[in-house]
Amino acid sequence: MTKRWLLIAAASCIIVFAPAAYGRSAYDGSWDLVFVTQRGACDSSYSFTVDVTNGIVTHPNLVRFRGYVAKSGAVRASVTVQDKYATGAGKLFATSGQGTWSGHSGAARCSGYWTARRN
């Protein structure tokens, strides 16, 4: 469960971190995310869905995260869930995206890449 929250945190981070967005974003909508761990003792992969509204990413079960999708599609995000923290960055395109993430769960460190597909 700890590893899963780290990956959820990373995912939320990837699609969220910057100033508040203004108005409708070209990236608004539902996105399926897949996170792959390349280093560390986290689950090998994890997937879930997030929503982007006005350039801001949301997930119904995560409270402490910040992030933003810029008009260019650049994304930055960070999230904290108890003693777990993750941050990520990348780029969204019209129907897909990709980037990298890193984080920790207690003393364990993990990192990898993520992909996104618009629903």
Q: Which fold has domain 2-118?
A: Lipocalin (2.40.128)
The predicted pLDDT at position 9 comes to 55
pTM above 0.75, yes or no: yes
The predicted pLDDT at position 93 comes to 97
* pLDDT string in tens for the chain (119-residue length): 566 655 555 555 554 444 444 468 899 999 998 889 999 988 788 888 888 999 998 887 776 777 789 999 999 988 788 888 889 999 999 999 999 999 988 888 999 999 999 99
Going from N- to C-terminal start, the domains of the chain cover 2-118
Please say whether the dihedral angle defined by the alpha carbons of residues 72, 13, 39 and 46, taken in this order, is positive or negative: negative
CB 18 within 8 Å of CB 78: no
> Radius of gyration (Cα) for the chain, nearest Å?
13
